[in-house]
């Protein structure tokens, strides 16, 4: 099977205030396949979120390449990236910040459809359908981000990301600020999207219990590098790196 996305020797380097260079991610390589659910775990500062942001092209790699469906997209800019964004979406840890506070949730969800020229009536129908698929009442569409709970806003963010039926959804710590029940609801929703839509998912988290429950494959990051990559059960039962062993002992 051909990979959906591939990172080849990806490195992201920044210049610190003291003028020294720091590798946020370093020599990272892995493949993601269609319909696959991959977890990326590690302590804060391990490079998980930076890796996700390079995968969605919100920040550029300093070295290495990024491939999507066997096309090198590392240097693509502007209009050349539009086809890529039709297939890949990202949901962030704090959904309220990802929505425009001056617009309703429904408006933000339908913005892409409006840009595509879809009529208002059809846009509203699509938004209502997607909200219901994500376990929300369609009346949520007329509310503003600050008028709903964190769990509701996170579901709305996922609904917005799914509006274009992406092939890949990147989730960056999307359950960390939610209570246990809401976490389970979000995991159930993502699993349904994976099964019904054939959508691949990258699930970035520090909660290994959730990763164990949801992810087919698990990558462990430490100091910007991938130190473990394998089937989730194998990684958690038979960790190879000392860091992974310490991480498991600390949280499981």
Q: What is the pLDDT of residues 6-46, one digit of tens each?
A: 999 999 999 989 989 999 999 999 999 999 999 999 999 99
User: What phi-psi label fits residue 15: left (phi over 0), alpha (psi between -120 and 50 degrees) or beta?
Assistant: beta
Q: Residue 40: in which H helix or E strand, if any?
A: strand 37-41
pLDDT in tens, 44-84: 999 999 999 999 999 999 999 999 999 999 999 999 999 99
Average pLDDT rounded to a whole number, residues 224-234: 97
Average pLDDT rounded to a whole number, residues 135-150: 93
Q: What is the pLDDT of residue 201?
A: 97
Token output for 73? 């997209």
Length of the chain: 252
Q: How would residue 226 be classed by pLDDT, with cut points 50, 70 and 90?
A: very high
**Mean pLDDT of the residues in the chain:** 93
Say if strands 63-68 and 200-205 run parallel, antiparallel, or are unpaired: unpaired
Percent of the chain whose pLDDT exceeds 90:
74
Q: How far apart are CA 128 and CA 118, in angstroms?
A: 15
pLDDT in tens, 194-207: 998 889 999 999 88
Q: What is the phi/psi pair of residue 225, to 5°? A: -120, 155
Q: How many CB atoms lie within 10 A of CB 73?
A: 17
Report the candidate in 68, 88, 37 with the shortest Cα–Cα distance to residue 195: 37
Q: What is the phi/psi pair of residue 223, to 5°? A: 50, 45
Burial class (CB in 10 A: 0-12, 13-18, 19+), 2: exposed
pTM value? 0.91
Q: How would residue 1 be classed by pLDDT, with cut points 50, 70 and 90?
A: confident
Q: How far apart are CA 212 and CA 236, in angstroms?
A: 8
Q: What is the pLDDT of residue 252?
A: 63
Q: What is the phi/psi pair of residue 149, to 5°? A: -75, 170
């Amino acid at each position: 099977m051909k990979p959906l996305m591939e990172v080849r020797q990806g490195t992201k380097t920044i210049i610190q205030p003291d003028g020294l260079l720091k590798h946020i991610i370093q020599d990272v390589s892995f493949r993601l396949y269609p319909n696959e659910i991959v977890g990326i775990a590690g302590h804060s500062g391990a490079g998980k979120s930076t890796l996700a942001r390079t995968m969605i092209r919100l920040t550029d790699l300093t070295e290495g390449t990024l491939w999507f469906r066997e096309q090198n997209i590392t240097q693509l800019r502007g209009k050349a990236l539009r086809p890529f964004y039709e297939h890949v979406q990202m949901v962030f840890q704090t959904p309220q910040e990802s929505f425009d506070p001056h617009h309703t949730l429904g408006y933000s969800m339908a913005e892409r459809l409006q840009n595509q020229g879809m009529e208002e009536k059809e846009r509203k129908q699509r938004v209502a359908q997607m909200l219901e698929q994500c376990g929300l009442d369609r009346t949520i569409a007329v509310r503003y981000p600050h008028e709903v709970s964190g769990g509701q806003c996170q579901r709305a963010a996922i609904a917005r990301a799914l509006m274009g039926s992406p092939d890949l959804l990147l989730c960056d710590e999307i359950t960390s600020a939610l209570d246990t029940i809401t976490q389970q609801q979000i995991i159930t929703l993502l699993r349904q999207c994976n099964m019904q839509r054939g959508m691949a998912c990258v699930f970035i988290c520090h909660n290994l219990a959730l990763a164990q429950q949801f992810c087919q494959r698990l990558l462990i990051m430490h100091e910007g590098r991938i130190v473990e990559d394998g089937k989730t059960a194998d990684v958690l039962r038979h960790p190879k790196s000392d860091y992974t062993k310490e991480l498991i002992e600390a949280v499981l």
